Amino acid sequence: MKTAIYYNNSDVRNEEMPVPDISDDEILFKTIASGICGSDLMEWYRIKKAPLVLGHEVAGIVEKKGKNVTDFDEGEKVFVTHHVPCGSCKYCKNGNDTACDTLRKTNFYPGGFSEYIRIPAINIEKGMLNLPSNVGFEEGTFIEPLGCAVRGQKRLGIKQDDSLLVMGCGPAGILHIKLAKAKGVKKIMATDINPYRIQLARLNSAIPIHALDDVHSILKYRLNGELADKVIVCTGALPAAKQAFNCVDRGGTVLYFAVPRPDEDVVAPLNEFWKDEKTIAFSYGAGMRDNKEALELIASGSVDIRDMITHRLPLEKAKEGFRIASKEMDAMKVIFYPHGITKD
C-alpha cells in the first residue's frame, strides 16, 4: 500500500508498505481522508522518532473486521482517533483523560498518511465513532482537532459574557473561534501576523488584531479599559506565549493550547498573577467525550469547518502538502486522499 513517510518537514517520501494484517479483535481501516495537524509540523517534536508515518486526523471506511468485532460492520463510514484513555485510572476518573498512561501509549498502525490502518481493539472500543450520513469524510477529519478545542474550552471555563482573545489563527485558533461563537460568546478577538488568517478570523466574527501591534492597548480600547477575560494561546511562537501574560484581565485565565519549544523558557509574572488572581491553564489532546461532542457540533451544523479546507491532495503529493502547510501564506487545512480525491 501507499504511505507517506516523514523524515523531516522538507523530506516526506512516498514509500510502499504491506497492508497490515489484523487479528480477530482488530479492524482494517481504509483511509479516505487524512488532515495535516499542526503537531505534524512540529519538527523538533517529530524528528526524534523519524522516520515514521504521521497522520491522526482521519476518516474512512471499515474495510475488514476481525470475527470478534461486533460494534462495527464492514463498509461503514467511521472516524477513529489514535490515542485513547483507559477510562478507569485515577486520571480518567477525575476527568483528566489525556493525562492517562494508556492514552500516551496507544496508537494505530502505521499512521493516517497511508491507504490502510490497523485499528487495535482498545481504539475500536474507546476511539471509533460512526459518521452520520450528513457528515462527510472531510468533515470527519476535523472531529479530533475540534475535540481538542472542546476539551480546551472546558478547562478554560469560558462563558457567554466573557471576552476572549485567541492568539494564533491557524487551524486550532480558527476552530476555537468557531467553537466559542457556537457557544454564544460575543466578544471574540484574535491575533496573527498572516493576512489570510487574519481575514479568516474576521469572516468568523472575530475582531482581528495584528500580533505585532500594541495588542494590550487595543484590547483596552475595545473592552472599555479592560483586558480579555480568557486568552487561548494557539501558537508555539515564543513572543505569543509571553505576550499572553500582558493580555489577560484580573481574575482571568490564560490557556496554553500550544507551547513553545522545550528549549525556550517562558518566565511567568507570578507576583502579578497572585495579586490579581489570574490563572494559567493547559490543555492537551482530547478524550472520547470531547470527540463525541465535536461530532455532534459538526453534524448539527453548529460548527461549520468547510471554509478551513484550502488544499486537497492525493497522498502522492505528501511532500508538497507539508511544504504548503508549513510555508504557504494562504494555507489553512491540507487534506490528503490516499485513494484519490473524491466527493463524499
Separation between Cα atoms, residue 315 and residue 6, nearest integer Å: 13
* Percentage above 90 pLDDT, the chain: 97
pLDDT tens figures, 232-271: 999 999 999 999 999 999 999 999 999 999 999 999 999 9
Nearest Cα residue to 102 out of 93, 112, 110: 93
Name the DSSP letter for residue 282.
E
Give the closest residue to 41 by CA, choosing from 321, 337, 336.
321
* Three cell numbers written together for 230: 480568557
Beta strands in 94-235 (DSSP E): 116-119, 128-130, 163-167, 187-192, 207-210, 228-233
Find all residues with CB under 8 Å of 33, minimum gap 6, and list them.
Answer: 58, 59, 60, 137, 138, 140, 141, 335, 336, 337
Q: State the pLDDT at residue 257.
A: 98
Contact 259, 241 (CB under 8 A): yes
Phi and psi at residue 331, in whole multiples of 5°?
-100, 140
Write down the pTM of the prediction. 0.97
- Whole-number Å distance between alpha carbons of 87 and 21: 27
The domain segmentation of the chain, as residue ranges, is: 2-142+305-337, 156-282
Q: Phi, psi at residue 151, to the nearest 5°?
A: -65, -45
The Cα 241–Cα 243 span in angstroms is: 6
Instruction: Identify the CATH number of the domain defined by range 156-282.
Output: 3.40.50.720
Hey, do 2-142+305-337 and 156-282 end up sharing a CATH topology, with the first three levels equal? no
With bands split at pLDDT 50, 70 and 90, how would you rate the model's confidence at 343? low
Other C-beta atoms lying within 10 Å of the C-beta of residue 130:
15
Sort residue 198 into left (φ over 0), alpha (ψ -120 to 50) or beta. alpha
The count of C-alpha atoms lying within 13 angstroms of the C-alpha of 228, restricted to the half-sphere facing its C-beta, is 33
The model's pLDDT over 42-74, given as tens digits with 9 standing for 90+, comes to: 988 899 999 999 999 999 999 999 999 999 999
- Dig out the grid coordinates for 125 from the structure: 472500543
CATH class belonging to 2-142+305-337: alpha beta
pLDDT digit string, tens, across residues 282-316: 999 999 999 999 999 999 999 999 999 999 999 99
The answer to whether 56 and 31 are in contact (CB under 8 A) is no
Using CA atoms, how far apart are residues 50 and 318, in angstroms rounded to an integer? 16
Contacts of 92 (CB under 8 A, 6+ apart): 85, 86, 100, 287
Distance CA 276, CA 322 (A): 43
pLDDT digits (tens, 9 = 90+) for 94-130: 999 999 999 999 999 999 999 999 999 999 999 999 9
Q: Please give the pLDDT value at position 342.
A: 79
